[in-house]
């Protein structure tokens, strides 16, 4: 059988299939290339957007000015740091008022609450306080500019010396020379090492909370020094003299009497009724104290005074408290505050302390309206009698020593010295400044009584006292600086959106202050 021979394909057909595959591969490669290019463009665009966002967030925005003062910019970053510094300063001031208040509260509410409340409100509202901080930065910028104009700039050495002073470091006292080559260390001041450590620690604390940089911190001292120099060099206008009279006076005070006998009897009855409710009727001491006691510091706590040792209470109260057994209730105890009943609920013999609660009923020592009127009439009549004696050539100084009710001047024969308008009130001024030397006027109705006035000398341009002069200088500088700021080219760009929210640590302080203020107000 004859073999079949393979049919040979034409030569052109042999190359047709590889060419199709090659063309397809080229198309696929071109498509992949375009995809990669497109993806690269997208990634580049995303990267660009991220870079632009980062630049805006970390470069442009922090340096975006919140204000421009005569062409000099205040950056947002610098503003944020200054705001944190001002907020921390406000916290320190609040804490100081709280500490002072504890010393004077005497168991009652803090006497400085009216000052503390507005400061806490400021701290709690950075969107408002931020504008206050910016105003201070603007003023600092103006002082620096004006200092250059009025030759009031400062040197780095002056700044360093002021910083050392404020930190309690006296360079000269720290190493006082006592002989040739000998030195002693003054233990009442910091050493240089202690100062440097304290300074570095404080600067580090500023950095940790996002407050001022070291340069900005030092600039605050420079601004303070420039302000003082500027006050001396600026063209200020204020009066260093004023019309004054040199006077003596005699003061007669009304002394209204209160019906104390009856009021003491009423207070005693009220405290005895409270004691009966506890000892005989079985009512709880703390509940009766909340209802009856007139001690605002302890009544809300059921009269609880806590634990105390000897010497901490007035003697009458202390003697009664330390004589009681645990759980025993005292008889009424009279002190300058009124009538008390005391219950000791614990004793600490090792510490020589007792823990007690009390109920206080005060004795009303306020005079009646009729008593006040009568006392005022009597004081006026006495003042008129005194004037009559003076008109009969009685010696003013001798009479002042004998009858004046002003202990500060009576021993000096009523001598007040030089008096300027406004010091003693309008009624006093109206009479005193209308008199000629040697003339006597009055009686003049003052807040605390009736005055007879003798003018010894008048001076239309008497030098004001140094303290008053300094106050006038400060006010004149304040007015001048305000005028400079008002006339400056200042553009404020700060918006509430630029002001950062209160940091968590400061928000916690605000919450603590609010809780304390609410408890004190109850």
- Residues 251 and 383 occupy one common structural domain: yes
Within 125-191, residue ranges assigned H as helices are 126-149, 156-166, 171-174
Residue 457 falls inside a structural domain? yes
> For residues 260 and 269, is the Cβ–Cβ distance under 8 A?
no
Overall number of domains in the chain = 3
- Which of 416, 442, 462 is the endpoint of a domain? 462
Residue 112 falls inside a structural domain? no
Phi, psi for residue 43 in degrees, rounded to 5 = -60, -40
Of 393, 404, 415, which Cα lies nearest the Cα of 443?
404
- Residues 351 and 401 occupy one common structural domain: no
Residue 143 falls inside a structural domain? no
Instruction: Give residue 19's pLDDT.
Output: 56
Instruction: Give residue 521's pLDDT.
Output: 65
- Residues 351 and 383 occupy one common structural domain: no
- Residues 382 and 403 occupy one common structural domain: yes
**Percentage of residues in the chain having pLDDT higher than 90:** 71
47 pLDDT above the threshold of 60: no
- Residues 273 and 407 occupy one common structural domain: no
Average pLDDT over residues 311-335: 93
Helices and strands, counts by H and E, the chain: 18, 13
Residue 343 falls inside a structural domain? yes
- Residues 343 and 378 occupy one common structural domain: no
> For residues 386 and 399, is the Cβ–Cβ distance under 8 A?
yes
**Residues constituting the chain:** 522
Q: What is the largest CA-CA distance in the chain?
A: 179
Residue 126 falls inside a structural domain? no
**Percentage of residues in the chain having pLDDT higher than 70:** 84
Average pLDDT over residues 92-115: 83
> For residues 76 and 61, is the Cβ–Cβ distance under 8 A?
yes
Lowest mean pLDDT among 9-13, 109-113, 193-197, 264-268: 9-13
Q: How far apart are CA 221 and CA 202, in angstroms?
A: 15
Residue 339 falls inside a structural domain? yes
H or E segment and range at residue 245: strand 241-252
- Residues 326 and 352 occupy one common structural domain: yes
Of 348, 361, 350, which Cα lies nearest the Cα of 321?
348
Lowest mean pLDDT among 9-13, 306-310, 445-449, 461-465: 9-13
- Which of 297, 328, 361 is the endpoint of a domain? 361
- Residues 295 and 438 occupy one common structural domain: no
Tokens standing for 326? 């645990």
pTM value is 0.62
**CATH code where residue 430 lies:** 3.10.50.40
- Which of 462, 483, 515 is the endpoint of a domain? 462
- Residues 249 and 280 occupy one common structural domain: no
- Residues 252 and 282 occupy one common structural domain: no
Residue 146 falls inside a structural domain? no
Exposure string over 172-209, b if 16+ CB within 10 A, otherwise e: eebeeeeeeeeeeeeeebbeeeebeeebeeebeebeee
- Residues 289 and 356 occupy one common structural domain: yes
Instruction: Give residue 101's pLDDT.
Output: 83
Question: What residues make up the domain containing 41?
Answer: 29-63
Token look-up 């400056």 returns 488
14 pLDDT above the threshold of 70: no
488 pLDDT above the threshold of 70: yes
Of 423, 443, 283, 431, which Cα lies nearest the Cα of 379?
443
Exposure string over 458-489, b if 16+ CB within 10 A, otherwise e: beeebebeeeeeeebeeebbeebbeebbeeee
Q: How far apart are CA 254 and CA 405, in angstroms?
A: 10
- Strand order of the β-sheet with 65-69 is 72-75, 65-69, 490-492
Residue 442 falls inside a structural domain? yes
Q: How far apart are CA 405 and CA 252, in angstroms?
A: 6
- Residues 350 and 384 occupy one common structural domain: no
């Amino acid at each position: 059988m004859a073999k079949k021979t393979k049919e040979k394909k034409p030569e052109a057909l042999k190359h047709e299939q590889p060419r199709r595959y090659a063309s397809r591969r080229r198309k696929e490669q071109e498509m992949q290339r375009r995809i990669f290019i497109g993806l690269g463009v997208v990634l580049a665009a995303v990267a660009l957007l991220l870079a632009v966002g980062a630049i805006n967030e970390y470069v442009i925005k922090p340096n975006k000015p919140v204000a421009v003062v005569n062409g000099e910019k205040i950056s947002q970053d610098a503003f944020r740091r200054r705001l944190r510094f001002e907020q921390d300063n406000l916290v320190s001031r609040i804490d100081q008022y709280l500490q002072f208040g504890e010393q004077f509260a005497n168991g009652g509410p803090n006497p400085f609450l009216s000052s503390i409340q507005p400061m806490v409100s400021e701290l709690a509202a950075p969107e408002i306080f931020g504008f206050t901080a910016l105003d201070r930065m603007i003023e600092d910028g103006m002082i620096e500019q004006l200092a250059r104009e009025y030759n009031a700039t400062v040197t780095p050495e002056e700044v360093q010396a002021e910083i050392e002073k404020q930190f309690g470091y006296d360079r000269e006292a720290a190493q006082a020379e006592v002989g040739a080559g000998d030195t002693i260390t003054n233990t009442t001041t910091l050493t240089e090492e202690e100062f440097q450590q304290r300074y570095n620690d404080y600067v580090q604390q500023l950095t940790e909370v996002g407050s001022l940089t070291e340069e900005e911190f030092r600039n605050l001292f420079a601004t303070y020094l420039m302000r003082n120099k500027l006050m001396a060099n600026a063209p200020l206008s204020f009066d260093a003299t004023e019309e004054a009279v040199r006077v003596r006076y005699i003061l007669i005070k009304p002394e209204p009497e209160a019906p104390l006998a009856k009021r003491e009897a009423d207070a005693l009855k009220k405290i005895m009724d409270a004691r009966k409710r506890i000892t005989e009727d079985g009512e709880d001491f703390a509940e009766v104290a909340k209802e009856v006691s007139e001690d605002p510091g302890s009544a809300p706590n059921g009269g609880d005074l806590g634990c105390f040792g000897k010497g901490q209470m007035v003697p009458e109260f202390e003697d009664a408290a330390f004589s009681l057994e645990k759980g025993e209730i005292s008889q009424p105890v009279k002190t300058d505050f009124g009538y008390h009943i005391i219950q000791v609920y614990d004793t600490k013999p090792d510490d020589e302390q007792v823990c007690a609660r009390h109920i206080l009923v005060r004795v009303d020592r306020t005079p009646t309206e009729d008593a006040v009127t009568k006392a005022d009439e009597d004081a006026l009549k006495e003042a008129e009698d005194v004037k009559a004696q003076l008109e009969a050539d009685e010696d003013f100084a001798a009479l002042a020593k004998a009858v004046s009710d002003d202990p500060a001047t009576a021993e000096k024969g009523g001598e007040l010295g030089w008096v300027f308008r406004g010091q003693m009130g309008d009624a006093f001024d109206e009479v005193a400044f209308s008199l000629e030397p040697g003339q006597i006027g009055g009686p003049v109705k003052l807040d605390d009584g009736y005055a007879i006035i003798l003018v010894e000398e008048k001076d239309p341009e008497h030098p004001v006292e140094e303290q008053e002069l300094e106050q006038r200088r400060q006010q004149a500088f304040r007015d001048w600086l305000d005028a400079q700021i008002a006339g400056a080219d200042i553009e404020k760009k700060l918006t509430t959106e630029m002001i950062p929210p209160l940091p968590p640590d400061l928000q916690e302080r605000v919450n603590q202050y609010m809780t304390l203020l609410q408890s004190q107000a109850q």
